[in-house]
Amino acid sequence: MPTRDIRGAKAALLVSIHDVSPLTLENSQRAVEVALAAGVPARALTILVIPRHEDRISLDEDPTTRAWLSGLAERGAQLVMHGYTHRMEGRRYTPAGLFWSYGFARGQGELFNCTATETERRLACGRDILERAGLSVAATGFVPPAWLLSRQARSVVDAAGFRFHETLRGIVADGRLFARRLIGWGSLNAVESSVTCWWAAIQRRRAPVDTRFAIHPADMVRARTLASVRHTLDVLVAGMALLSYRDYLA
């Protein structure tokens, strides 16, 4: 069905589950359950998969996670490659570098400090793992961890043949930028949780536009954040078109 028939005149809500891997499986499953309970159908979910999380375990080595992801894909959920290890290597000592890599991304902006050669290696390794896991469909799109790319990494990703990739500013496809509004949470401490819950409260009161809605496994652990995720979904789901990235960009 063409996208225009799915959406009608409604703005799109693009719900994504980030950081899915064997290391986060239980909370990732809970995040999917929260979205489904709020009325988001499986076919409207975009699942961001880490091939070798923290360089500790490869997705193809964990049959439980593979089976769960395969089941979601069979129900219509879209799987997307989310970095290779998710963890940033090296240091960025400029004020901007310190803010983005440690203040914002908490050392998890994998490609924020990468050369072109290293970016190419990581993309190739990630694709190989997804293929071995039987989940090569995830390699058609790409979301860099923490949405961050170095200048050299950006050039590599632009030329890598993905149907789309995502930055903080929006989804990049065919040289255009889509769905600029972003709602997401930080749950590593009480201050981060409070600030991002406040941000979500502001965003859900605004006039609807195409919106990316990012849920992380860590959001399932902190009660205040989980309550905010649920309430924001309840407010937005009723009045917006629920689409995966794939259907939104169709």
Give the C-alpha distances (Å, rounded to integers) separating 3 from 159, 212, 246, 249. Answer: 26, 17, 10, 8
Asked if residues 247 and 6 have their Cβ atoms less than 8 Å apart, the reply is: yes
In tens digits, the chain (250 residues) has pLDDT values of 333 344 556 899 999 999 999 999 999 999 999 999 999 999 999 999 999 999 999 999 999 999 999 999 999 999 999 999 998 776 665 666 555 565 565 657 789 889 999 999 999 999 999 999 999 999 999 999 999 999 999 999 999 999 999 999 999 999 999 999 999 998 778 888 999 999 999 999 999 999 999 999 999 999 999 999 999 999 999 999 999 999 999 9
User: CA 238 to CA 40: how far, in whole Å?
Assistant: 10
Cross-strand bridge partners of residue 172: 165, 177
* H or E element that contains 56: none
Q: pTM here?
A: 0.92
Within 10 angstroms of residue 117's Cβ, the number of other Cβ atoms is 10
Q: Where are the domains of the chain?
A: 3-249
User: CA 161 to CA 206: how far, in whole Å?
Assistant: 35
CATH 3.20.20.370, domain 3-249, yes or no: yes
Asked if residues 230 and 1 have their Cβ atoms less than 8 Å apart, the reply is: no
Asked if residues 185 and 200 have their Cβ atoms less than 8 Å apart, the reply is: yes
